[in-house]
Amino acid sequence: MPKILKYQVKESDLVGDREWFLELTRQLHKSRAIAVGGILRQYRRELEEKNQTNN
């Protein structure tokens, strides 16, 4: 989890307040953070459009 968090918040936030870090970890437990770019972004957009059309 800490590896994912480093992309969500500043490093100084992660080490500055232990209780804040632990609470953030609890709140983000089992959440998914996905970022795509390039051709994957295009494929994802096409898939989402296809799924909307089928619904």
Give pLDDT tens digits for 2-30.
555 556 677 777 778 888 888 888 888 88
Let me know: does 45 contact 38? Beta carbons within 8 Å: no
Q: pTM of whole model > 0.75?
A: no
pLDDT at 4: 52
Angle at 7 between CA 12 and CA 31, to 5 degrees: 115
Q: Number of helices and strands (H, E) in the chain?
A: 4, 0
**The tokens of 14 are what?**
């992660």
CA distance 29 to 17: 18
